[in-house]
A and B are shown apart, each in its own frame.
Chain A
Amino acid sequence: MARLLENEALRILADNKLPVPRFEYAATPEEAKQAAENLNVPVVIKALVPVANRGKAGAVVFADEPEQAALNTEVLLGSSVQHCLVEKVLICEKLNTDQELFVSITIDHGLQCPVVFASTAGGVDFEEIVSRNPEKIRKVYVDPYKGLPDYVAKETWADLGLKGSVLRDAAMILSKLYNVFGAYDCDLLEVNPLVITKESKICIVSAAMTIDDAALFRHPELNHVLQMGNDYAWRALTSMEKDIVDINETDPYRGKVMCMELGGGDIAFMCGGCGGSLLMLDALLQYGGKPANYLAFDGNPPERKVYGLTKVLLAKPGVRGLFVCANIANDVQVDVVANGIVKALQEAKKSGDFPVVVRLAGVNDEIGREIFNAAGVEYYGEEITMTMAAKRMIERMNQIKAG
């Protein structure tokens, strides 16, 4: 999942002849003042962070004068919005809003085709209004080869009650948005709001764009502007997650890693495969455990990678044990993983009072078993199930807590 910051999304839309407000961006209050002077109208100042609901988070402010733009920018810079540090702000011309529309284009995974949502209830309260008034939203499924015909875009807005030149303009914008969605391999292209001004002009005020990271080879020009985030949580990476990403990058193709730090917790969690690891997270929770993170590795990670990952997980304050578990896999070298884990444990001086339970079955199990046993690590191969390993981990944690 790769996201674009709003200034980049707006730039792409403008490049594709879509109406966006005049905008600049600023990293200091002085730049903000200059930007407001350049625009020479009342402005909207928005934190440039790749998260939604900035309006409700207080990360969108207004300024009538350049001095005020500088002051308001100073407040936003250095603050954080949903764990994302604000390093830049977007400064756009403020429009005379009459009505706010909403457009979202994404892929419907059930019907396996693109889907367009259009609504006349745009704005910060969109979800609430639409859940109460389902007639204010239209959903259109799109043939992946034909695309969104112009007449369907027109019908969609006409059904929602738009008329006159606004209807024609909104239809044209919807068609063009769909074309951008396809041309840039978007996972999501969302415009909220699409504003109709008191002068009956129509303009995209805010846009969110995520790109299918599997398709990035078709868009090398976007490489330097993409914000890479976590597949699950739409927030900036924590320092633990950043460290894990760095370690992953050293060997990106061997033992691919996904990590998410969880709040608090006392069990460092390093499990194999996405399905198996989720299952083990379930199991630890069902037995009353508190994982400190979620880390899933795929395939066959080399020793230095396993060592690096373990080291980062063990360093989290409050961690009192380590759980490593994976499904039976013909490509995981248990001895290699064992060497990495044992090295990190020994360096961190973790011994008997630090429970470690490992369940790994793959290649060289018996050599792995010897390495783990020699280091005093409780190791199991396929003789026990994954669930039993999780249960054993919790028993060990309970022992140290009781003792």
Chain B
Amino acid sequence: MGILVDRNSRVGIVGITGLDAMAAAKDMLNYGTPVLAGISPGRRGERIQEIPVYDTVRQAVEEQGVNTMLIYAPPAFILDAVQETLASDIKLMVIPTEKVPNQDVLKAIYEIKAVGARMIGPNTIGLIHPLERVKLGAIGGDKVERCFIPGCVGVISRSAGMTAETAHMIKKSGLGVSTAVNIGGDALIGTTPKELLELFERDPQTKAVILFTERNILLEEEVMEFIGQGSFSKPLIAAIAGKHTLHMLKKPWLGYEKIADESADKWSEKLKRLKAAGVHVADKYDDIITILQDLELEESWVV
């Protein structure tokens, strides 16, 4: 149960010899994540945190059956790492690397979509499935239970830090997390909230989902359309940062952006439409707790 990862995930880490990757690998292993291989060119035969290192993704797949890839390559090498991962027919990859050039992300997304694979990120702190104790990336650090305990609430967050804080709010409300995914804060991301809602809809463990976004016209439109079609039957709680302030910070510059920018009026109109579509919009972030409690969800996954 949960989405994207479970006990059957066989995780590999591209760039495992880097400092961030090594630190994440240690916490992932301690949590119980099945990390089976690292990939770092020219380093085959070494071990990082007891994890065997290979030169190529193909070797890691052939020798360890890796089916899920965490990619910590530097920005300039992300597109190549994505291509190498796809070439070994791996369908799920998570990319924590920040500052990947837009044109490389566009190409990566294009190739991933062409073969029906999935990319989380870039610029993500990762994802976590507390019930099966699997996490990809630094999410939760070395004190996972401080925020993430098993439960029935899915989390989709634009913000890395607020993924943990949102899980903490769920814990405060007496519930826990099914799967939490930080989709990444960049303008271009591999997997959108709507795509994750499709997965959460089918997941028996998940009974409600919290979506934390920063005011963003496109992601919300897509979610609204999805909900409007009746495609998501579970309660969705939206916490939207910048809903009162982003227009204050954002001043349009050039012609195109003026066309794309939405006025404050349009924005309040959209909030109304979100509410009308049945989304529980948390006016203040704290409202998440009362909304969750009012839903009277039962943690029936408990064995």
Contacts and interface: CB of A to CB of B under 8 A. Distances in A.
Q: Does B bind A?
A: yes
B101 to A, nearest CB: 4
Contacts of B214: 274-275, 278
Interface string A158-192: 00000000000000000000000010010110101
A190 B254 CA distance: 8
Nearest to A291: B245
Contact of A328 (B138, B147, B255): B147
B74 to A, nearest CB: 9
Interface in B141-163: 141-143, 146-147, 157-162
Contacts of A276: 159, 161-162, 165, 241
Given A51-B253, A104-B255, A117-B256, A330 B143 contact: yes
Interface in B214-264: 214-215, 218, 221-222, 239, 241-246, 248-256, 258-259
A192 B242 contact: no
Contacts of A192: 255
A210 to B, nearest CB: 9
A110 B165 contact: no
B110 A144 contact: yes
Contact of A329 (B76, B161, B241, B254): B161
Range of interface residues on B (Cβ < 8 Å): 35 or more
Contacts of B202: none
Interface in B2-61: none
B284 A208 contact: no
B256 A109 contact: no
B242 A328 contact: no
A213 B104 CA distance: 13
A182 B103 contact: yes
Nearest to B144: A330
B101 A279 contact: no
A298 to B, nearest CB: 8
Contact of B255 (A102, A109, A382): A102
A72 interface: no
A215 B99 CA distance: 8
A107 B253 contact: no
Contacts of A187: 102
Contacts of A127: 255, 258-259
A52 B252 CA distance: 9
Interface residues of A, number: 62
Interface in A364-400: 382, 385-388
A382 to B, nearest CB: 7
A143 B107 CA distance: 9
B45 to A, nearest CB: 31
A12 interface: no
Contacts of B138: 330-331
A330 B126 CA distance: 14
B90 interface: no
Contact of A214 (B101, B218, B244, B254): B101
* Most B C-beta atoms less than 10 A away, residue of A106, A112, A117, A232: A112
A214 B159 contact: no
Nearest to A131: B259
Contacts of B253: 51-52, 234
A182 B256 CA distance: 18
Contacts of B215: 278
A278 B101 contact: no
B244 A328 contact: no
From B172, B246, B284, residue with most partner A Cβ within 10 Å: B284
Contacts of B259: 127, 130-131
Q: 4 closest pairs, A vs B, by CB?
A: A275-B159, A330-B141, A234-B253, A273-B161
10 contacts: A144-B103, A214-B99, A215-B102, A218-B76, A234-B254, A276-B162, A278-B215, A279-B239, A285-B244, A387-B285
